[in-house]
Amino acid sequence: MNTILITGVDKGIGRALMSTFLAEGYFVIGTFYADRPVSHERLKDFALDLGKPESIASCASAITNLGKPLDILVNNAGILADEEETNVVIEKLRKTLEVNLLGTIDFTQRLLPLMNVGSHIMNVSSTAGSLELVGKVSHFMGHYPAYKISKAALNMYTRTLALELKDRGVTVSSVHPGWVQTDIGGQEADLTPESAADAMYQLAISRPESGGFWFAGKRLPW
C-alpha cells in the first residue's frame, strides 16, 4: 500500500486531496492546524503549526516514528496574511515566509530520509509566484505582495531540492492548483477543491521531469 503525506488536510484543497487519495486506496498521513479530520482506518493525523519550529520538530519526529516510508509528500498548508495589502508590510511578510517558506522547508528536510526511490514531493505554489506571470494573471493585480514573494521563493526551493535529490530518484514539483474555492481563493473562484484535487492527484502519481512548475498537466513559466 502506497503512503502519502499531505499537510493541511483540515480544509480546502488538503481535505479534498485526502479524500481523493483515501478513495484510491492510499494510506494517508495528514497534518492539521485547527480541526482534526474525520477518522479513517487508513488515515493517521498529526497537529502541525508551520509557524512554530517546535511544532515542526515534534510533528516530523512523530511521523518518522511511524516507520512508514513515503511515496508522495504534498506540501499543501499555507497562509495568505496580506490579502488587502498593495505594499509590503514587514510583519505580514515575516509571518508569511515563516509558514509558506521556512516552515515548509524545515518540515520537508526533516522528512527526506523517509522518501522512497521513485517518490514525488509536490509543493503547492501559485501563478502569483511566477516572475513572468506576476501582474498578468493574478485576480488582484497589485495585492498580497508577501504571498507572491513566498510562492516565488518556494518555487526556487523546488528547483534546488530537485537538484539535491536528483541522484536519489525523487521527483520534486511545484504545482499551481488553479483559482480554487477556499479561504484563500474565495467562493467566487472557478474551481472546486475536488476538481483541483483531481488534477493534482494525476500529477502526484505521475513521474514528470523533476524541477517543473505545473498546472493541469501543463508546464508553467517560472
Which pLDDT tens digit goes with each residue over 118-170?
999 999 999 999 999 887 765 555 689 999 999 999 999 999 999 999 999 99
* Res 139: pLDDT: 53
> What does the pLDDT look like over 59-106, one tens digit per residue?
999 999 999 999 999 999 999 999 889 999 999 999 999 999 999 999
Among residues 26, 33, 144, 201, which one is catalytic?
144
CB proximity list for 201: less than 8 A, separation 6 or greater? 17, 20, 21, 24
Structural domains of the chain, ranges and CATH numbers in brackets: 3-219 (3.40.50.720)
User: Is 144 considered catalytic here?
Assistant: yes
DSSP 3-state of 202: helix
Return d(Cα 37, Cα 155) in angstroms, integer. Answer: 28
Q: What is the pLDDT of the chain when averaged over all its residues? A: 93
* Res 138: pLDDT: 52
